């Protein structure tokens, strides 16, 4: 184990040169993948607006969406309120906490390290981590962390306040806390393995905290710096940031509201938090435009070479409409179209952000309320008019709605959905 860590650190010293090679390979892969997209129905923006109205009816003060379409059929749609006290409408260009969409950013960084031959996805992850994060003899591989088959317990279930029986009271006990990521992993390990690594799927935020520690150890840099250098700056994502433990969002934004367990109580302003408790599994901040640009660049091969992008997108089926790859979700919509991306739930915000495989169309939908599964389900209904046009089948949408309840439970692990 020590020899692998040592050699990985040595190779990391050549990181700048390797990044040039990665960029060159990725652009080559993007050119190779640049085949004409199959004609798809135009996005139904009226249907999208109706879906967003459904999000508000389900309990979110507001909702916003941006459709980006190479054929020119895109547009911004927003409904409802961004600040209940001021009565102001949702800012269609506002920023928000993206929750578990952060997992894909982390996965891209890990796969870039694989492309640089600094990480082997099928080797034990312990060899790429500071001593003691995982037991030295742990068989868990890097790949098993990426696809949630590690068997690691989700530490968020043990956060201070989670078991108090009231979501808002619990949140206030950890929202301003600053946590050592290694301590979060150590807490998960006290529960032992939940199943034999590689034997089944079990979504766990612990996996992506471990991967964040891996990124820092191999590069010798803080995660925030690596994210800036490898993704945010190259793509010019002006509204995307990772600023743990700062408590603000840092730009124009809707207030993020936490729904009380007692629905007769008013919504609770949950916007400010360190997000330290979720770290590289869910603490990023972004906007609809930045997220759509990110997925478009990823699909075009600008972030990963062809081989790594294929590894990421190879998903195992999880339920009747969704699968999970390496830090990426895959949905099959009512018209049969398959889209790739991720969802995110963090106190105050619930988001869906997806792209077609060829990158010809993206949508990001965000609501300014959490702790409400009905809102999350209503958001998923917005994907069909965007990618399927007006031909969405109601029966298929009902199946997707049922599956979204399971996804909501995953994304809100540790915080009652």
Residues marked as catalytic: 100
CB 367 within 8 A of CB 351: yes
Q: What is the DSSP string of 339-362?
A: EEEEEEEETTEEEEEEEETTSSEE
Token digits for 104?
């894909």
Tell which residue, 194, 348, 377, has the closest CA to residue 282.
Answer: 348
Half-sphere exposure of 78 (CA within 13 A, CB side): 20
Long-range contacts at 84-92 (CB < 8 A, ≥ 24 apart): 84/255, 84/257, 84/267, 85/255, 89/62, 90/61, 90/62, 90/63, 90/64, 90/254, 90/368, 91/64, 91/252, 91/253, 91/254, 92/64, 92/66, 92/288
Q: Residue 361's beta-bridge partner residues?
A: 69
Round to whole Å and give the CA distance between 45 and 74: 8
Region at 132 (left for phi over 0; alpha for psi -120 to 50; beta for the rest)? left
Token digits for 108?
């891209």
Over the range 177-208, which residues count as b (16 or more CB within 10 Å of their CB) and which as e?
eebebeebbebbbeeeeeeebeeeebbbbbbb
* φ, ψ dihedrals at 378, nearest 5°: -65, -35
CB 270 within 8 A of CB 369: no
């Amino acid at each position: 184990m020590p020899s692998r860590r040592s050699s990985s650190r040595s190779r990391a010293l050549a990181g700048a040169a390797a990044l040039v090679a990665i960029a060159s390979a990725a652009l080559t892969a993007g050119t190779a993948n640049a085949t004409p997209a199959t004609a798809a129905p135009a996005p139904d923006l009226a249907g999208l607006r109706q879906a967003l109205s459904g999000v508000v009816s389900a309990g979110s003060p507001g909702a916003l969406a941006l459709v980006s379409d190479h054929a020119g059929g895109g547009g911004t749609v927003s409904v409802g309120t961004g600040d209940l006290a001021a009565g102001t409408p949702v800012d269609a260009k506002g920023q928000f906490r993206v929750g578990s969409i952060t997992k894909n950013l982390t996965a891209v960084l890990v796969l870039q390290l694989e492309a640089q031959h600094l990480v082997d996805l099928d080797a034990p992850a312990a060899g790429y981590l500071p001593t003691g994060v995982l037991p030295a003899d742990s068989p868990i591989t890097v790949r098993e962390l990426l696809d949630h088959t590690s068997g690691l317990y989700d530490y968020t279930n043990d956060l201070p306040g989670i078991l108090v029986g009231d979501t808002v009271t619990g949140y206030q006990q950890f929202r301003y806390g600053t946590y050592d990521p290694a301590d979060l992993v150590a807490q998960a390990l006290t529960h032992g393995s939940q199943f034999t690594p590689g034997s089944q799927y079990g979504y766990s935020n612990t996996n992506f905290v471990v991967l964040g520690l891996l990124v820092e150890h191999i590069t010798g840099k803080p995660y925030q710096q690596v994210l800036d250098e490898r993704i945010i700056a190259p793509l010019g994502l002006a509204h995307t940031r990772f600023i743990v433990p700062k408590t603000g969002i840092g730009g124009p934004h809707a207030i993020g509201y936490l729904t009380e367990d007692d629905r007769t109580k008013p919504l609770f302003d949950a916007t400010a938090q360190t997000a330290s408790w979720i770290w590289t599994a869910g603490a990023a901040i972004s906007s609809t435009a930045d997220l759509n640009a990110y997925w478009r660049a990823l699909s075009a091969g600008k972030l990963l070479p062809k081989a790594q992008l294929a590894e990421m997108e190879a998903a195992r089926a999880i339920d009747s409409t969704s699968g999970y790859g390496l830090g990426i979700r895959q949905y099959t919509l009512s018209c049969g179209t398959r889209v790739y991306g991720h969802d995110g739930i963090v106190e105050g915000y619930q988001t869906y952000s997806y792209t077609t495989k060829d990158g010809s169309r993206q949508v990001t939908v965000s609501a300014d309320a959490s702790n409400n599964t009905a809102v999350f389900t209503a958001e998923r209904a917005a994907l069909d008019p965007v990618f399927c046009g007006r031909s969405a089948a109601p029966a298929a949408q009902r199946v997707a709605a049922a599956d979204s309840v399971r996804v909501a439970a995953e994304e809100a692990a540790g915080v009652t959905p």
